[in-house]
Structure 1
Amino acid sequence: MLEKKKKIETTTYDAIYKDIKNKIDHGELNPGDKLDSVRKLCEVYNTSDITIRKSIELLKQNHYVYSKERAGVYVSGGEKKIFF
């Protein structure tokens, strides 16, 4: 019997998380760089502020970014990730 391939659905906030994560992993965004404002990211990704905030929260949980109160969200420092 043939197995049905699972359809993997990606949420918008997960896709944005992965896009920003890839930019960090590949050096397009460096430690200390400030991310654009939530409003600007909404325009760039053509989505709501709630979706952007969920993406940023995922990035924070995985230590890719941190926030400074009233100053914005910044790319975290730390070791460079090595891929094999």
Structure 2
Amino acid sequence: MAGAVGLNRICLRVGTDPGFARRLRADPVTALRDVPLPADHRRALLAGDVRRLYEIGVHPVLLVRLATAGVFGVDEESYPRLIQGAVRPCGDDGS
């Protein structure tokens, strides 16, 4: 899960920084331009692929903030469908 630290920070910021959330809604590529992320993490985030983000290790409490803020094409209505079937790879959940 250590690889998801940057993603977790972004999700936390979405919920605590309304200006950042607005910038993400307006132009997510530009809003994330200076945020260091591995290419696969950036792709999953920009695509609103919450299932993949969860599998990478984003904490579910932080992940739902994307839906609450309505960023990356994820909203409260689509979130349950998008997260359905997500499973963490063996060993990544602390077990």
Q: TM-score, normalised by structure 1?
A: 0.39
Task: Decide which structure has greater strand share.
Answer: 1
Larger radius of gyration: 1
